[in-house]
Copies of this chain bind each other. A is one copy, B any other.
Amino acid sequence: MRYEEHADEFCSITRPLVVLGDRWTLLILKHSFAGVRRFNAFASSLGISRSRLQNRLDRLVEHGILVKQKADQGAHEEYRLTEKGLDIYPVLMALRDWGDTYMAPDGPPVHYRHHDCTGEAHVRLECDHCRQPMTARDVTPEVGPGLAVLGL
């Protein structure tokens, strides 16, 4: 099996990974969330080669995660997050929580504050029924409708 074939799997972890899970894509999106919009700005802040960057941006646009459009003023292009793109934020925040815990010996480099509040954003895995916090150990996988399509 080659790598791209994982995109056909009936798994909602694998499918996003095939789109987002390479060295650069999530880094590009991180910069998008930080306000970067222009091709040259991505290129210089990331250190990715221009052709790679083009390739990745195209793919993100193709998947409706970014939109490419002319800036309001100035004739340059801009890459901006769509709603679908904005919804990737929890993934980055989950990475950050883990990074703050295990890879930030001097404490968090950046606080992600709730604006107009003293609190901070944190990802929490919880049960949508009983509202209890959960960990990997509390989860039991079970076949859902997206698999039933196969007639299993």
Decide if A108 touches B27 in the complex (CB within 8 Å). Answer: no
A73 within 8 A of B: no
Decide if A94 touches B91 in the complex (CB within 8 Å). Answer: yes
Decide if A102 touches B84 in the complex (CB within 8 Å). Answer: yes
Report Cα–Cα, A146/B100, bound state, in Å. Answer: 9
Report Cα–Cα, A20/B17, bound state, in Å. Answer: 11
Q: Is the interface of A mostly helix, strand, loop or mixed?
A: mixed
A87 within 8 A of B: yes
In the bound complex, residues from chain B placing their C-beta under 8 Å from that of A119 are 127-130
Within 8 A of B (CB), among A21-65: 21-24, 26-27, 30, 33-34, 46-47
Q: How many copies does the complex hold?
A: 2
Interface size on A, residues (CB 8 A): 88
Decide if B95 touches A136 in the complex (CB within 8 Å). Answer: no
Decide if B109 touches A11 in the complex (CB within 8 Å). Answer: yes
Nearest Cβ on chain B to A62's Cβ, whole angstroms:
13
- Show 14 residue pairs from A and B whose CB-CB distance is below 8 angstroms, ordered by the A residue: A3-B24, A12-B95, A16-B99, A20-B95, A21-B26, A34-B141, A90-B94, A91-B98, A93-B94, A106-B145, A106-B148, A110-B141, A121-B126, A124-B124
